[in-house]
Structure 1
Amino acid sequence: MHITWRDLAELAAYEDARVGRVFNHRRPRRYPRAVVKATSVEDIIAAVKLAKEQNCRVAVRSGGHSWAAWSVRDDSILIDLGNFKSWTVDAENRRAQVTPSVTGRELNGMLTTEHGLMFPGGHCPDVGLGGFLLQGGMGWNCRGWGWACERVKAVDVVTAEGEALHCNQEENQELYWAARGAGPGFPAIVTKYHLDLIKYPKDGFRSSGYLYPMSKYHEAFSWIVSITPEYDQDTEIVAVAQYVDGREEPCLFILFVTLKHTVEEAQTALAPAHESRPEGTFHEWVCQEDSLANQYIAQAKANPDGHRYAVDNAYINNDADLPKVLEEAFTTLPHRKAFTLWYAMNPCSRRELSDMALSVQSDHYLALYAVWEDEKDDTRCQGWVKGVMQRVQRHSVGAYLGDSDFQERQTRYWSESNGAQLREIRRKWDPTGRICGYLDKGDVSGVKGLANVHEWEAAPQL
């Protein structure tokens, strides 16, 4: 295995190993003792044992897409899995075995073209499966197909003691339970996911899009919220506030992506939206031929590399006055590259979840994405995210781990019982806190983990 030691390497080599694969260019001022570039399970075991000898913690990086750069921790051994990429596919049984650094685009690029299959991984093409699935996996058509982590049938791990284990419903069940929703607090290192695949809906992969001026915000948003609960369950529904070329003001973009197996099914699924839409769009398309490859291109454009990011999110109460609660988030973008996202979760949010750590959801998912390039805009863009979320969060039931920064805000990530169970599993499998866990303010959470409570509930009303 290749090791880059902070005290021995040239600065440029160390910096490349430390943050070269970190997607967010708002780089953290945290410095691992060493970075291990692993290419095998044996390398991972050796790195864990090295950390034990060095009496320091272990951090893990799969895709490097964590907004808060959870993998970069002071005085740790950072195990970088970027060169540990492999997969095998059993097409007949629709199963795959995949290492954590493989991205959704890499996996689906192979599955769709070679086997006519897919896995509902992350929307952003460069997100590694490791962090995405540990956090639950809000993947393609989550509202209809459920959480991606529910398609994880087993995981292979290396424990905090350096032991390789296979975990599923029958053996090492506690770790299997935690691997589906524990996020960066998972008390082991995943080395392989065993996944259930689905048939790729090539012929019926279609989309309809509607661009409204922000003056139509209340009417258009009320419409999309009203039709979602009964809408076709193979259709992903999203509303985005964004700037578009040629317009000075942000607009409201409402997108339907339907994943059917025939064109006729797609047309039937998308027709009710087109027939009921409010008037006033300045651009629209209906039942246009689409694909995962095209969607990845659009997602990469919305989430460009080489930029600075500040992100936060919330599950909004089911009975909230959504257009009113989200108005500030949708109408006050701080930068032309920033965007706000509402993702429809019903009916997934109304189903009983599998027996796993993931346990907080609602009908409405809100995410704020401030995206910019110049460091001088840090205060303004970060301040917008924090300020909007301070006012929105009292209408929420919690947040999704994947778009959270525990250094900035505390809220609920699990139900009370699941949070308590997860804390016990963490103490059992990593009693010394060898694996870094949750990066809270000051990086002090250690074995105890996160408080799992809304911080605003004890604060004075704004």
Structure 2
Amino acid sequence: MHIIWRESANVLAYEAGRLSRVFNQRCPSQFPLAIVKPTTESEVIKAVNLALQHNLRIAIRAGGHSFPVWSLHDHSILIDFGDFKVVEVDERSRTAKVSPGVTSKELNDLLIEKHGMMFAGGHCPDVGLGGFLLQGGMGWNCRNWGWACESVDALEVITTQGESIICSSQQNSDLYWAARGAGPAFPGVVSKFHLKLRPYSNSGFRTSGYIYPCALYKQAFSWALRITPTLDNDTEITVCTRYAQAHSQVCLSVHFVCAKTTPEEAEAALRPVHETRPPGTLSEWYCREDNLGNLYEKQAKANPKGHRYRTDNAYVQNDADVVAVLEEAFLTPPPGKSFAFWSAMTPWSRRELPDMALSMRSDHYFAIYAVWDDARDDELHHSWVQKVMRQIENHSVGTYLGDSDLQKENARYWTNTNTTRLVEICEKWDPEGLMCRYQASCTELQLRN
């Protein structure tokens, strides 16, 4: 088992381990006392026992993609799953057992090429499944297929006592409940997720997109809201704005991803969209042959590595005037790579919720991403995010962990009932507070370090 102790390691080697795969370059000054890189489940158990022996807390890194960099804590042992990659596929049952360090792209590359299946993981290719699934997982076509954590049948967990257990609706069901939405509050170390998979067809995978100038913001966004209830069940819709250098203005894009079995089915699903689009696009494409690999490449460009990020989000009230509420957010991004987006959450938002920690929802999901590369521009981008979110907070019913930077006071990540239950489960399974959970900015959730 490879261990890097801060007190004895080469400074450069330690710092490389501390920042390995960390996505957000606006990184906290937190320094684990040791970094462990297991390659087997037995080594994960050894790492937990090592923490117990040295009276240290445990932090986890799956993909390193969390914006607040959850994996970095003082007085901790960081268990980095980057070298522990397991994917075991059962084609007959359409299931897979996957370790938390496997990324969405790694999993889907394998599933598509060898098995003709996919998993509705994260849109960004390098998102590790561990953090993504624990916080709920707003994956591909979430509005119809549900959250990715709903496709977790079971999980294998190393408890804070160093015991390996199975968690499902039948075994250790309280931990199974917490694993679907608790995020870094989860009181254990997940070594494998048991996932339900979906069929995938390259021939039926199609996209359409419509780019509008900012002057047509209201018409284009109103159209997107109007057609959402009519969309096919295998079609995802996203509205996104950013400053486009090519057009010297903020542009709004309405993007559709359709995952059907045949080209004819995809064309039938996307035709009504194309026929009802408002005039005035700067560019557009209709029912274009596409694939998940190509979309991952585009997401990687839209969410570049080696940059500084500040994010926030809101589930916007169902009865809000969404076009008006989000207008400033959508039309004022600073020049550069920053962007804001809206995703439809219906019909999922109107269904009965499964019994799980994930509990905040509405018909409208909004997120804002400030993206820049120079620390001297921190204040400019921080102030943009804060100003936008102040305009929206009175129309918000809650916040999603996955796009949160944990900067917002009084954020609601779960309903009050689920928060209370989650605290009780943490106290039961981790009474000594061995697992690192939240930075001090989230003490209002009563889930403290």
What TM-score results when the alignment is normalised by the length of structure 2? 0.98
Question: Which amino acid in 2 is paired with 1:427?
Answer: E
Q: What are the residue-to-residue correspondences of 1:15-414 with 2, within 5 Å?
A: 15-414=15-414
Q: Is the 8 A contact 1:407 1:440 kept in 2?
A: no
CA distance in 1, matches of 2:81, 2:50: 16
Deviation digits for residues 118-137 of structure 1, max 9, x if unmatched?
00000000000000000111
Q: Which SS does the other structure have where 1:250 is aligned?
A: strand
* More divergent stretch after superposition (382-391 vs 54-63): 382-391
Letter in 2 for 1:449: L
Q: Is the 8 A contact 2:88 2:98 kept in 1?
A: yes
The match for 1:458 is none
Residues 356-380 of structure 1, C-alpha deviation per residue, up to 9 Å, x if partnerless? 1111111111010111111111111
Name the SS for the 1:7 alignment partner. coil
Residues in 1 aligned to 2:389 and 2:210: alpha-carbon distance in whole angstroms: 27
- Mapped contact 2:410–2:444 kept (Cα < 8 A): no
- C-alpha distance in 1 between matches for 2:48 and 2:382: 35
1:425 aligns with 2:422: no
| Sequence identity percentage | 55
| 2:447 counterpart residue number | 449
- Return the alpha-carbon distance in structure 1 between the equivalents of residues 268 and 93 of structure 2: 30
Which SS does the other structure have where 2:406 is aligned? coil
Q: Structure 1 residues 445 and 166, CA, compared in 2 at 3 Å: closer, same or farther?
A: farther
In structure 2, C-alpha distance between the alignment counterparts of 1:166 and 1:195, rounded to whole Å? 14
Query: SS where residue 215 of structure 2 aligns?
Result: helix
Provide the rounded CA distance (Å) in 1 between the counterparts of 2:402 and 2:439. 13
- Paired with 2:275 and 2:316, the residues of 1 have a C-alpha distance of 28
2:243, 2:334 within 8 Å by CA — same for their partners in 1? no
Give the superposition deviation at 1:382: 1.6
CA drift at 1:405: 2.2
**1:420-455, Cα deviation, whole Å (9 max, x unpaired):** 1111101100011100112232x7579x317xxxxx
1:57 Cα deviation after fit = 0.8
Q: What is the alpha-carbon distance in structure 2 between the residues aligned to residue 109 and residue 94 of structure 1?
A: 16
Q: Quote how far apart the aligned CAs of 1:53 are.
A: 1.8
Which stretches of structure 1, 4 residues or more, deviate above 6 A after TM superposition?
none
Describe the superposition over 1:268-309 as per-residue Cα deviations: whole angstroms up to 9, x where unpaired: 111111111111101000000011011001100101111111
Q: For 1:151-199, what per-residue CA distance to the aligned partner results, in whole angstroms no more than 9, with x for missing partners?
A: 1000000011111111111111111111000011000010000000010
Q: Kindly state the Cα deviation for residue 20 of structure 1 after the two structures are TM-superposed.
A: 2.3
Superposition RMSD on alpha carbons, in Å? 1.3
Q: Return the alpha-carbon distance in structure 1 between the equivalents of residues 407 and 271 of structure 2.
A: 44
d(CA) in 1 for partners of 2:294 and 2:376?
Answer: 33
Counterpart code for 2:447: G
Unaligned 5+ runs, structure 2: none
Gaps of 5+ in 1: 451-462
Residue of structure 2 in register with 1:456 after alignment: none
Q: C-alpha distance in 1, partners of 2:368/2:43?
A: 37
- 1:393 shift after superposition: 1.4
Q: Is the 8 A contact 1:335 1:372 kept in 2?
A: no
Q: Counterparts of 2:314 and 2:48 in 1: how far apart (Å)?
A: 35
Q: 1:218 to 1:445 in 2, by over 3 A?
A: closer
Q: How many Å separate the matches in 2 of 1:41 and 1:410?
A: 37
Inter-partner Cα distance in structure 2 for 1:408 and 1:68: 12
Q: Please say if residues 157 and 191 of structure 1, whose CA atoms lie closer than 8 Å, have aligned partners that are also in contact.
A: yes
Bigger drift between 60-69 and 18-27 goes to 18-27
The AA in structure 1 aligned to 2:67 is W
CA contact (8 A) 1:241 1:341 kept: yes
Query: If the length of structure 1 is used for normalisation, what is the TM-score?
Result: 0.95
SS in 2 for 1:229: helix
Question: What secondary structure, in the 3-state scheme, does the structure 2 residue paired with 1:427 have?
Answer: helix
Cα deviation, residue 250, structure 1: 1.3
Tell me, yes or no, if the aligned pair for 1:177 and 1:356 is still in contact at 8 Å: yes
Contact 1:85/1:99, CA 8 A, preserved across alignment:
yes
The Cα of 1:3 is off from its aligned counterpart by 1.1
> Contact 2:316–2:363 at 8 Å: present in 1 too?
yes
Q: Is the Cα–Cα contact under 8 Å of residues 406 and 440 in structure 1 kept in the other structure?
A: no
2:258 counterpart SS class: strand
Number of the residue aligned with 2:416:
416
Distance 2:403 2:380 in 1: 19
SS in 2 for 1:102: coil
The letter for the 2-side match of 1:187 is P
| Distance of 2:108 and 2:245 partners within structure 1 | 30
Q: Matched residue pairs, number?
A: 448
C-alpha contact 1:6 1:33 (8 A) present in aligned 2: yes
> Which letter maps to 1:425?
I
The residue matched to 2:249 in structure 1 has which SS?
A: coil
Q: Which moved more, 1:18-27 or 1:187-196?
A: 18-27
Q: What do the CA deviations read for 1:184-223 (whole angstroms, capped 9, x no partner)?
A: 1000010000000010032211011000000000111111
